[in-house]
Homo-oligomer: A and B are copies of this chain.
Amino acid sequence: MEEKVLKAIQDEYPDAFAWCYGCGRLNKDGHHFRTGWQGEQTRTIYTPRSEHIAIPGFVYGGLIASLIDCHGTGSAALALHRKNGHEVGDGIEPPRFVTASLKVEFVRPTPNDVPLIAVGKIQEIHPKKWKIDTEVFANETLCARGEVVAVVMPNTFTRKE
């Protein structure tokens, strides 16, 4: 049984901010990570492609880091959107976050042929700055832990320096 996130925040990012290789629905080559609520926690489910290996049979760390990263920004967007009185599907564009910092602890080798489930706990540090603690499971076994500090996308991000 493959579970699926039904209402994902990434489905409602404004088009201009929906190009992320990790989680942008408009990036045809990307991972299309999708993040939604599960009770008070958040969840992203992704099955790695066969080439996403460290050595045959195990997921490479960069994919796990990417999953935790986009799961973090998506979770922060879900949380601020809810704080603002909105839910995915109500027709209001959600806020868009970027990552200030990312930490990943690789707990054990992660099999690459099953869905990975990232589960996030969200904490508001400041109205524009949120922390997301994430656990990544494969076959219901904890494989990695992560922490993302996400901030509302600053205007500087939309112009080249």
Q: Report yes or no: B70 in contact with A20, Cβ–Cβ below 8 A.
A: no
CB < 8 Å: which of B62, B105, B111 contacts A160? B111
Residues of B contacting A69 in the complex (Cβ-Cβ under 8 angstroms): 61-62, 65
Please report the C-alpha to C-alpha distance between residue A69 and residue B62 in the assembled complex, in whole angstroms. Answer: 7
Q: Interface on A for B, CB 8 Å cutoff?
A: 16-17, 19-22, 27-30, 51-58, 60-63, 65-67, 69-70, 98-106, 108-109, 111, 141, 156-158, 160-161
On chain B, the residues within 8 Å of A22 by CB distance are: 54, 60-62
SS class of chain A's interface: helix, strand, loop or mixed? mixed
Whether the pair B105, A65 counts as a contact (CB closer than 8 A) is: no
- Docked CA distance A20–B62 (Å): 10
Instruction: Give me 30 A-to-B residue pairs in the complex whose CB atoms sit less than 8 angstroms apart, sorted by A's number.
Output: A16-B55, A20-B54, A20-B60, A21-B54, A22-B54, A22-B60, A27-B53, A54-B98, A60-B66, A61-B99, A61-B102, A62-B62, A62-B65, A62-B66, A62-B70, A65-B66, A65-B102, A65-B104, A98-B106, A101-B103, A101-B104, A101-B105, A102-B102, A102-B104, A103-B103, A103-B104, A108-B156, A109-B157, A109-B161, A111-B161
